[in-house]
Amino acid sequence: MLKKIDTAQLDALLKIIRTINSHLNLDKVLESVMDVTTQAIQVEASSLVLIDEETNELLFHVTEGEKAKIIKTIRMKAGEGIVGWVIKEEKAVLVNDVSKDKRFYKAADKKSGFITKSILCVPMCTADKCLGAIEVINKMNNEDFDDADRIFLEAISSQAAIAIENAKLHERIVKNERLAAIGQTVSGLAHCIKNILNGIQGGSYILDLGIKKEKFSNIDKGWGIIKKNNEFMKELVLDMLSYSKEREPEYCTVDVNELVKSVCELMEQKGKEKNVSMQFLPEESLNEVEIDTKGVKRCVLNLISNAIDACEEVDGGSVDVSVQNTKGKIFRIHVADSGIGMSSETQAKLFQVFFSTKGSKGTGLGLAVSYKIIKEHGGNISVDSKKGKGTKFTITLPKKRKNNLLLEVSNGRE
């Protein structure tokens, strides 16, 4: 008759289950499993052995006990030793005198100087394959291993197998997600570069034609296109770098009205070319805010440029830019246009990298970069748009650098 599993062993099992369920780092989980096992069964040494799928060798992945470090360096062939047999046959083995067991791998004791007397080894299997085994060696006080120990170790082993499978699954998911993200980025980037290259190709062709036919207007046009695309490439690289790098804003104290006004002036020509009128409404009380001037300027420029583009196909299109103070710790910059507006689908993808509705003119990086810059300030960008009516973007920013304040702008607190 089996002796009952004692409370200490049940407690150990519970501890192992909790560890497996609360940690994602597999090595830490397995170390903890073996640590708890060694103490619960009270043995001199223990090992968790895994099959190396590439070399088909047995690896001592986690080792406990006096000679743990040396044991860890040992490599055994598949099927070798008691542990090899257990993995191959997927059956537990309990040997209380290893000297009488032919399967025993003496070389391990010889290399480590450890004297193995008894071994309890159980396979570590999932529903469809054996991943390795757990073995415990030399029960304390020269006691023998019994079936209760085997059942306890089998329970632990099945939990360890689940932990390994979970970790492998997690690793696969992360890898697939990473590959998908890389794929998307590469294809988005390639698309932008192809359009820029097409511009350069076109510019050079027109330039060559101008030289061949001695037509100055062609030379001028071709050269202009090349220069423009050179600028696009520069902007693309800068946007990519801004997007990919985690950075802290470079704060300085500025008059936000001056900043927004200067952007409006920069955009005035573009507005005129596209018959879009532009108004700016300043807020006198906001003459000292702490922001990353370059970053915020880039965002405002981006929003105003988009707003003008959105008005291009609308008769009498207008863009209204304003700055708004609040009684709290934040202020807002609004950019509203009377353009074509956006569908809810477009709005949902708005800040996604490489998403653009501008055909070959858009890189799909502008808003993604703007969003990132504002988030780095601890601020937020929101959008309100109706198809056919127009769009209003609102940048909300802290008046002081975010380190000085505990602001939760994104939650609407002021």
Partner 1 sequence: MAENKKILIIDDEPDAIAFSEAMLSELGEFDIETAINGLEGLQKAEMIKPDLIILDIQMPVMNGFQVFKELKKKEATDTIPVIMLTGIASTTGLRYDAKDMGITLGSEPDAYIDKPIEPEEFQKTVSSILGL
For partner 1, the binding residues (CB under 8 A) are 183, 186-191, 194-195, 197-203, 205-206, 209, 218, 221, 225, 228, 313, 340, 357-361
- CB-based burial label for 191 (10 Å; 0-12, 13-18, 19+): middle
Please report how close the Cβ of residue 195 comes to partner 1 at its closest, in angstroms: 5
Query: What count of other Cβ atoms lies within 10 Å of the Cβ of residue 399?
Result: 19
Please report how close the Cβ of residue 331 comes to partner 1 at its closest, in angstroms: 33
Whichever of 91 and 361 has its CB closer to partner 1, that residue is: 361
Please report how close the Cβ of residue 194 comes to partner 1 at its closest, in angstroms: 5
Nearest residue to 132 via CA among 192, 47, 211, 207: 47
Whichever of 68 and 200 has its CB closer to partner 1, that residue is: 200
Contacts of 242 (CB under 8 A, 6+ apart): 369, 372, 373
Whichever of 221 and 261 has its CB closer to partner 1, that residue is: 221
Return d(Cα 186, Cα 184) in angstroms, integer.
6
Please report how close the Cβ of residue 236 comes to partner 1 at its closest, in angstroms: 14
Q: How far is CA 317 from CA 41, 127, 273, 308, 311, in A?
A: 80, 66, 12, 8, 5
Whichever of 46 and 305 has its CB closer to partner 1, that residue is: 305
Nearest residue to 385 via CA among 325, 328, 337, 313: 337
Please report how close the Cβ of residue 358 comes to partner 1 at its closest, in angstroms: 5
Please report how close the Cβ of residue 109 comes to partner 1 at its closest, in angstroms: 54
Whichever of 173 and 190 has its CB closer to partner 1, that residue is: 190
CA dihedral for 56, 96, 104, 139, sign (positive or negative): positive
- CB-based burial label for 291 (10 Å; 0-12, 13-18, 19+): buried
By the 8 A CB rule, do 99 and 115 touch? no
Q: Which amino acid belongs to residue 411?
A: N
Please report how close the Cβ of residue 193 comes to partner 1 at its closest, in angstroms: 8
Whichever of 18 and 358 has its CB closer to partner 1, that residue is: 358
Nearest residue to 133 via CA among 150, 111, 117: 150
Query: DSSP assignment, residue 386?
Result: E
Q: How far is CA 292 from CA 211, 231, 376, in A?
A: 46, 23, 10
Please report how close the Cβ of residue 320 comes to partner 1 at its closest, in angstroms: 22
Tokens 């009684």, located at residue: 327
Whichever of 201 and 326 has its CB closer to partner 1, that residue is: 201
Please report how close the Cβ of residue 219 comes to partner 1 at its closest, in angstroms: 12
Whichever of 43 and 342 has its CB closer to partner 1, that residue is: 342
Nearest residue to 37 via CA among 140, 135, 138: 135
Instruction: Write down how long the chain is.
Output: 414
Return d(Cα 259, Cα 129) in angstroms, integer.
65
By the 8 A CB rule, do 261 and 268 touch? no
CA angle in degrees (0–180, nearest 5) for 370-376-381: 45
Whichever of 205 and 216 has its CB closer to partner 1, that residue is: 205
Q: Which two tokens stand for residue 279?
A: 């108004």
Q: What is the CA radius of gyration of the chain?
A: 34
Please report how close the Cβ of residue 182 comes to partner 1 at its closest, in angstroms: 9
Please report how close the Cβ of residue 307 comes to partner 1 at its closest, in angstroms: 15
Whichever of 184 and 285 has its CB closer to partner 1, that residue is: 184
Whichever of 8 and 182 has its CB closer to partner 1, that residue is: 182
By the 8 A CB rule, do 302 and 370 touch? yes
